[in-house]
Amino acid sequence: MARSDSVAGAAALRALRQRRGLSLAGCARALLEQARLLAHPPSRLPTTAGLMRSLSRWEHHSAPVLPSERHQLLLAHLYARTPAGSPALGPGSDFSELLLALACMGAGAAQLRLLRENVTRTLTSSGIALHVLLPSAVQAALGDPARLDEEVAAQLATAVSQVRDQLDRLPFARLQLMLAPIVEASRQLLAGPVPERLVPELHTAAVSVFCLAGRLAFETHDDAAARAHFAEATRQARLLPAGSPWRPLVHLDHALVALHSSAGAGTARQLAQAAAREAHHCPDPAVRAWANGWLASLAARCGDHRAAATALHRAAHDTHSPADDTPVGPAGLVFGPQHLTGFEAVCRLYTGQPRTAYDDLSTVPHTAADTRGQAQHAIVLTQRATALVRAGEPRSAAELLHHSLDTAPPHTSRITTRRIQWAWHELTPWQTEPFVTQLGNRLLTTLL
C-alpha cells in the first residue's frame, strides 16, 4: 500500500467527520454510542479520551494508522446513517466513502465485504431500511427528472450489484426488501421522460434490476411474480441494440430459474435457444460460450444428443476465441476451459456416460472460500453424486450428498435444494437401504 494512498484515506476520514460537524471529542462520543447500541460489553468500551487519540492517529496528515477491525465496525455503523438518522449505504453515501477510505489505508477486500454484510444485516433486520441501498443520485432524479444523467443509471446498476453480491449470504426475503425500492425507482425512471442519450444505459440497468427481482421472487417460491419480472426484463432487453450482451443474458437468467421451477427443462431449453440466437450477434465470445454451453446441457437433459454436441462444439470454439478489442460484456464475465469441462460433463451425464461425467466433474475447480463458491461446489457435488448412482455406486453417491449438505451455505438457494432433491430421487431403487433412509432423514431436517 503506497504511503500516498494511506494519506489520502486519512484525509477522506477527516473530511467525513468534519462534514458532519463533529469534533474529535464529538466523533469519539458518537462511536461510543454505536458501541453501546451494538451491545459491546461495558468492560470493553474505550474511553472518550482514548478514542480521541485513536482518531488523531487514523487521521494523521503524514503517517496515519489503519483503524482496528473493531473500530472499523464502529465507524461503519456510524456512517451507515445520514446525520438525520436515515440508513444510507448506496453509492455516494458516507458509508461508501468510508469503505473507500479504509481501502486506501490498507483494509482488505474480505474485511470490507464483511463490514458491508454486517451493517446491511443489522439495518435490514430492523425492518426500517427499505431504501438502504437506493443511491442519493437516484433519489434526486425521482424527485426531479431533469436531474437524470449518466451517474443515475450507473449508480442504479451499482445498487443492484450490491444486492446481488449478498445472494447466499442473507435470507432471500430480506434481499427482496432491499431490492424493492430499486425496482420501484427503475419503474418510475422508465415511465418518465428519458433523454435519448441515456436510454441504453437506463434500459441496461433495468434489465439487471428485473432479472434479480425475478430470481429473488423464485427463491421465495413466488413463481408467478418471477415470470412477470423476467417478462419485464425481456421487454427492456429488446429495446437494446442487437449485439448487446444483455439480450442473451436475460434469457440465460430466466432459463436457470425455469429449469428449477415447475416450468422444467423443456421451457428452460427454449429460453437457452433464444439466448443462443441473440448471442450469435454478440461480439463477446464469453457471452456466446455461456449461451451455447447452457443450450448444450439443456438439450442433453431433453435427450437431444445431436443438438447438445452441436452447441458444445460452438461453445468450445468461443472458449478459445480472443475477445474483441472493445469489451461489451458485463464486467467480470468470463468463460474458460474449466467452464467448458463442466458443461461437457453434464452432457455426458445425460447421454449415458456417467463414469466419464464423474471423472470430468472431479476435475472442475471450485472456490469455497465464500458463500457463492460454497453454493457452486455443493451443486457440483450433487452432479457427481448423480453420476455415481447411474454408474451403479449408490452408497458412494449418498456419501457425496452428505458432503453437499455440509458444503451448502447457510441460506441455501432453491436451485441448490432442487439439485440435491434430484440426486436424492436417483436413489429411489435403494430407498429401503439404511444409508438412503439416513440421508433422507437428514434431507428433511436440513432442507425443510
pLDDT digits (tens, 9 = 90+) for 307-329: 999 999 999 999 876 655 444 45
Q: How far is CA 207 from CA 184, 212, 253, 448, in A?
A: 13, 9, 11, 32
Three-state DSSP at 41 gives coil
Other CB atoms within 10 Å distance of the CB of residue 265: 20
Q: Are 239 and 203 in contact (CB under 8 A)?
A: yes
Q: Report if pTM > 0.85.
A: no
Confidence of residue 394 (pLDDT cuts 50, 70, 90): very high
Q: In this structure, are residues 301 and 265 in contact, taking their beta carbons and an 8 Å threshold?
A: yes
Instruction: Point out which residues pair with 87 in neighbouring strands.
Output: 81
- The Cα–Cα gap between 327 and 320 comes to 16
Q: DSSP alpha helices (H): ranges in 284-330?
A: 285-301, 305-319
Low-confidence winner among 19-28, 138-147, 361-370 (lowest mean pLDDT): 361-370
Instruction: Read off the pLDDT of residues 167-185 as tens digits, 9 standing for 90 and up.
Output: 877 788 878 877 888 888 8
Q: What is the average pLDDT across 16-45?
A: 86
Q: What is the DSSP letter of 61?
A: S
CA-CA distance, 334 to 353, in Å (whole number)? 28
Residues constituting the chain? 448
* Average pLDDT of the chain to the nearest whole number: 86
Tell me the per-residue pLDDT of 269-295, one tens digit each, with 9 for 90 and over.
999 999 999 999 999 999 999 999 999
Nearest 5°: phi and psi at 137?
A: -65, -35
Contact (CB, 8 A) for 375 and 168:
yes
Structural domains in the chain, sorted by start: 3-125 (no CATH), 137-240 (no CATH), 245-319 (1.25.40), 352-448 (no CATH)
Q: How far, in Å, CA of 69 to CA of 66, rounded?
A: 9
pLDDT digits (tens, 9 = 90+) for 78-90: 998 888 877 777 7
